[in-house]
């Protein structure tokens, strides 16, 4: 498995919780930026000749904020430079406040077959509080345009003044809108974002309350036919995001655009977060890679464990044995013994029991080496 990620760092305005690379005031550079992305792809063409990509994910920022033709050209550029599988999953992230029928038509025409819509919450006052540019009505209009299509909805828990009923309503809204995939993330107040002051002022729900919300959300999602396949991701049967699964199974992926990350052949690297620097590099025919690290075998093993245990399926013991040439249950006998209550083995898979997935860190760290 291999995937392509393209980062579109533009937005209408920055949400209060956002700490991603996005530059609302630089929207006027969209055209030049996209030209650079196409060029960056061309620069990687030779290197990635041997790969077939099963997924293409256009994320942001808000990819839907820029002219839809740039997106169409982007998909075309990807096809021109790389081998994209015929049945590839091609996803674009959308903000309901930036969508039109024409945009969606263009997206479909160029081959995009999956949409990820950021709803976050169905409560307008909470949307305003988050600094989202859309309201519930716009979300409903947006999903009406996507009727019958393959789309996912993002929802958030842990918001200021959010109740369990709000979460249930949000999930129902997402499900009834026709989504076949729902991502439910707990808000993580990062230092440097405006919402961090809410956190410091104790206005956000505490971890115990978030845990309550999460359980309630999981329950509601299950009722509506969405199975959890990763701690924050839920899908109707057969609609799991292949792009995300690729990350958790340590597949290769290549990222284009500012701040995009890649992992090719066990080398992880990330492009610069600085838009100007990105322009400068690409325009002078250089890659814009900033951090680069080789993942040695020990790290590969840790990543494999840490990522696999995030998923509901768990860690594939046979695959582990094949990759690392040892027996997991022997190597980690002590750790397994220690956290035995919280894990279970199902055929070839060792997984964290469903009820403990939300406290997985304390369990996963037992499987990490100490130096």
Q: In the complex, which residues of this chain contact another protein (CB under 8 A)?
A: 3, 5, 185-186, 188, 207-208, 210-212, 214, 231-232, 244, 247-248, 253, 255, 259-263, 268, 270, 291, 293, 299, 302-303, 306-307, 310, 339, 341-342, 356-365, 368, 370
Yes or no: say if 64 and 97 are a contact pair by the CB < 8 Å rule: no
CB of 121 to another protein, least distance (A): 15
Q: Give the Cα separation of 362 and 343 in Å (integer).
A: 12
Residue among 93, 61, 54 nearest 259 (CA): 61
User: What is the distance of C-alpha 138 from the center of its chain?
Assistant: 23
Residue 306 structure tokens: 């840490």
Q: Which residues pair with 151 in a beta bridge?
A: 115
Q: Please report how close the Cβ of residue 196 comes to another protein at its closest, in angstroms.
A: 16
Q: Which is nearer to another protein, 23 or 185 (CB)?
A: 185
When the beta carbons of 54 and 68 are compared against another protein, the nearer one is: 54
Least spacing, CB of residue 80 vs another protein, in Å:
23
Q: Which two tokens stand for residue 248?
A: 């958790």
* CB-nearer residue toward another protein: 14 or 243: 243
Instruction: Find the radius of gyration of the CA atoms of the chain.
Output: 21
**What Cα–Cα distance (Å) separates residue 197 from each residue in 24, 162, 202, 207?**
21, 17, 8, 17
Q: Which is nearer to another protein, 145 or 363 (CB)?
A: 363
Integer CA distances (angstroms), 117 to 60, 182, 280, in order: 12, 9, 32
- Provide the pairing of β-strand 114-120 with 151-157: parallel
- The least distance separating another protein from the CB of residue 140, rounded to whole angstroms, comes to 26
**Closer by beta carbon to another protein, 103 or else 242:** 242
Q: How far is the CB of 20 from another protein (least distance, A)?
A: 9
Closest separation in Å from C-beta 292 to another protein = 11
Shortest Å, Cβ 101 to another protein: 29
Choose between 283 and 359: whose C-beta lies nearer to another protein. 359
H or E segment to which residue 235 belongs? strand 233-235
Residue (66 or 187) nearer to another protein, CB: 187
At 30, list the tokens.
């969209």
């Amino acid at each position: 498995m291999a995937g392509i990620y393209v980062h579109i760092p533009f937005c209408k305005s920055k949400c209060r919780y956002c700490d991603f690379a996005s530059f609302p005031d630089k929207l006027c550079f969209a055209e030049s930026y996209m030209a650079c992305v196409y060029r960056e792809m061309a620069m990687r063409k030779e290197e990635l000749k041997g790969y077939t990509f099963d997924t293409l994910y256009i994320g942001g920022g808000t990819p839907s904020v820029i002219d839809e033709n740039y997106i169409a050209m982007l998909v075309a550029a990807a096809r021109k430079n790389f081998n994209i599988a015929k049945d590839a999953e091609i996803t674009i992230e959308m903000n309901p406040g930036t969508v039109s029928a024409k945009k969606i038509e263009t997206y479909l025409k160029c081959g995009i077959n999956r949409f990820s819509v950021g709803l976050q919450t169905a409560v307008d006052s909470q949307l305003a509080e988050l600094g989202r540019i859309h309201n519930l009505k716009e979300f409903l209009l947006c999903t009406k345009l996507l009727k019958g299509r393959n789309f996912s909805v993002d929802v958030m828990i842990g918001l200021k003044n959010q109740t369990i009923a709000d979460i249930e309503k949000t999930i129902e809204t997402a499900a009834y809108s026709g989504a076949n995939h729902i991502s439910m993330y707990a808000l993580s107040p990062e230092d440097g974002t405006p919402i961090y002051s809410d956190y410091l002022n104790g206005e956000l729900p505490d971890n115990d309350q978030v845990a309550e919300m999460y359980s309630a959300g999981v329950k509601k999602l299950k009722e509506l036919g969405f199975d959890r396949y990763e701690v924050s991701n839920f899908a109707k049967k057969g609609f799991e995001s292949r792009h995300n699964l690729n990350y958790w199974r340590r597949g290769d992926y290549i990222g284009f655009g500012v701040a995009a990350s890649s992992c090719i052949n066990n080398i992880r690297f990330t492009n610069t977060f600085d838009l100007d620097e990105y322009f400068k590099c690409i325009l002078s025919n250089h890659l814009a890679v900033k951090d680069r690290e080789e993942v040695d075998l020990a790290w590969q093993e840790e990543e494999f464990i840490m990522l696999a245990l995030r998923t509901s399926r768990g860690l594939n013991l046979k695959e582990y044995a094949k990759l690392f040439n040892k027996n997991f249950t022997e190597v980690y006998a002590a750790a397994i013994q220690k956290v035995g209550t919280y894990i279970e083995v199902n055929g070839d898979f060792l997984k964290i029991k469903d009820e403990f997935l939300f406290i997985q860190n304390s369990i996963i760290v037992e499987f990490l080496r100490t130096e």
